[in-house]
Amino acid sequence: MQRTLYIVRHAKAEDRGPFGSDHERDLTSDGIVAAARVGRHLHIRGIKPDQLLSSTANRARDTAKVMAEQLSIDPEQVVMDDHLYGGGPRAYLAAVNALPDATQTAMIVGHNPDVSYFSEFLTHQSVGSMSKGAIIAITFNDLRWDEVSGRTGTLAFQVSPKELTE
């Protein structure tokens, strides 16, 4: 059985003010449009993840919810994982390894540099620094989620919002 993991970097967020919390930064209007554009692109391709996980930071949560709407997924079904905010690539691996075996496709929305490092760890391919709102699809053949680790995935595609406007 082939499983697919979609890794998303949150879309463009407002700058943090001098007294503002990084965790509470919201998406900008451009970020909302970019997240919708990528979600719509996936919908057109017939992609609909079985499970959608997100960091609890506002910008990641809202990216996940906008994408969920475009994918005809109830935004309230997005699973929030507080370990994805500041937890590093190990937190992403732990979240993936904990996915239910019945899940064939999953999406995880988080932050750079963690999402870029995690993608490279899984595929052993250079993906560079993911742009805001970008998505990477990684496939795993004949593995359970709890068996996913370094070099076990294959990069299927990588898309950024900017590519979808050209």
Spell out the domains of the chain, with CATH numbers in brackets. Answer: 2-13+26-165 (3.40.50.1240)
| Residue from 88, 21, 67 nearest 164 by CA | 67
Q: pLDDT (tens digit, 0 to 9) for every residue of the chain, 166 residues total?
A: 999 999 999 999 999 877 789 999 999 999 999 999 999 999 999 999 999 999 999 999 999 999 999 999 999 999 999 999 999 999 999 999 999 999 999 999 999 999 999 999 999 999 999 999 999 999 999 999 999 999 999 999 999 999 998 6
**Amino acid of residue 103:** T
User: pTM of the prediction?
Assistant: 0.97
Residue 35 has φ and ψ, to the nearest 5°, of -65, -40
